[in-house]
Amino acid sequence: MLSYDAGVLSAIERVYGYEYSVFLDAISRPSSRMYARVNTLRISVEEVVDRLRARGLAVFLDEELDEAIYFFVEGPFAIELQDYDKIVVADKYAAESVYLGSNLYAPGVIRCSNSVRVGDEVTVVTVDGRPIAKGVSMINCRDVRSVRRGIAVEVLKSIYRAPKIIELPEYRAGLIYPQSLAAMYTVRALDPKPGSVVVDTCAAPGGKTGHIVEYTLGKALVFAFDHSRRRLNEMRGVLDRLGHTPLVELWRADSRYLHTDFSWIGADRIIVDPPCTSLGVRPKLYDTKNYSDIVSASRYQIQFLKSASKILKVGGIMVYSTCTITIEENEEVIEQLIGEDRCLKVVDTEIRRGSRGVATPHSHAFTRFHPHVHDTTGYFIAKIAKVC
């Protein structure tokens, strides 16, 4: 159930041409692999793999990225809804995890059948009534408003099945962090060095910040910014679990104004991973987007880049990434940036995976991951150098 207006559909068609329906089909399904990053400051990849295998999990090492491990996603399995089933309705975010076999947590419950009691068999459905999983209720429906945390439905069968990573002891101990393969290439492209100053402008919940800390062996001065209090709180939890809290300067800021509010920072490396239309994120059970979302996202994105470029040292490197596929939010944002500042130059991402950008003069230097081609999130990475 993707409701995209004509402008969004033509933005997709601009990238994928007649394959655009194959793309839409791919984002409604999960990738066949679910990735996690190993916190190499705490444990070796081999040791964590041994521990997970001892737990009976089938886990594999990525072919190229040393810090990446993955599990296979199984499915699809049929989940049917009978008239007499008791139902629990999950919000979009929760439903997309339950679809992959996660348990349903209390904050993700929108409503449920009045008769649902602890121990009942229930069917988890989306807001538009599609069944996605069967499980056992851990709550009485009448208490649902007062229960704020914990598992609401223990999922036994779902359309897709992948390990419940966030319930693993290795996750709780901060040894692994779920992250898409494509996202891991962002920090790889950045290649931050120990002893340098690194800035993450849109950092929460901290996936890439954590990766920067590990990649620099905890020896870089890392500044991480985000504007959302809620997401910063989540990020504090992530950094605590990973053991990275003392290694990151975390600030609440509007990163469109870093050049005025934090003008004293001189960064060697900057990541700009701004809000975007997220068209590449999968699996999507439903989504609504209008062309105006693309236009406003791209205006916002260029502001982050311009501000970041002013706190970047001469000789410094900035990496821009998004989890969307529109040319408007990707190649064209970068072309506009470098077109307006002669000191900024595109350099090759030097990523061997995925494919190159599309449509614009510097597209050969960018990296794209296509969901239906590379079996990943739809993702874009560009690398920019400041030369004067």
Stretch that binds ligand SAH, among 14-22, 159-167, 169-177, 251-259 (CB under 6 A): 251-259
Please report, to the nearest 10 degrees, the dihedral formed by the alpha carbons of residues 242, 247, 252, 255 taken in order.
-110
Say whether residue 228 binds ligand SAH (CB under 6 A).
yes
Least distance (Å) from ligand SAH to the CB of residue 341?
A: 20
Rounded to whole angstroms, the Cα distance separating 5 from 43 reads 47
Q: Which of 86, 231, 259, 313 binds ligand SAH (CB under 6 A)?
A: 231
CB atoms near residue 10 (< 10 Å): 12
Q: What are phi and psi of 172, to 5 degrees?
A: -60, -35
- Per-residue contact track with ligand SAH, 331 to 350, x per CB under 6 A? --------------------
Q: Which of 139, 203, 220, 382 binds ligand SAH (CB under 6 A)?
A: 203
Q: What does the block give as tokens for 167?
A: 């319930």
- Per-residue contact track with ligand SAH, 113 to 152, x per CB under 6 A? ----------------------------------------
Is-cis flag, bond preceding 107, omega within 30? no
Closest by CA position to 272, among listed 337, 358, 356:
337
Contact 328, 11 (CB under 8 A): yes
Least distance (Å) from ligand SAH to the CB of residue 346?
A: 21
- Per-residue contact track with ligand SAH, 270 to 289, x per CB under 6 A? ---xxx--------------
Give 84-131 as a 3 state SS string: CCCEEEECHHHHHHHCCCCCEEHHHEEEECCCCCCCCEEEEECCCCCE
Q: Which of 120, 170, 226, 335 binds ligand SAH (CB under 6 A)?
A: 226
Q: What are phi and psi of 72, to 5 degrees?
A: -85, 145
Say whether residue 163 binds ligand SAH (CB under 6 A).
no
Active-site option among 141, 202, 276, 323: 323
The 8-class DSSP code of residue 21 comes to H
CB-nearer residue toward ligand SAH: 15 or 250: 250
- 323 carries an active-site annotation: yes
Q: Which of 198, 204, 212, 319 binds ligand SAH (CB under 6 A)?
A: 204
End-to-end CA distance of the chain: 48
Say whether residue 30 binds ligand SAH (CB under 6 A).
no
- Residue numbers at the binding site for ligand SAH (CB under 6 A): 202-208, 225-228, 231, 254-256, 273-275
Active site residues: 323
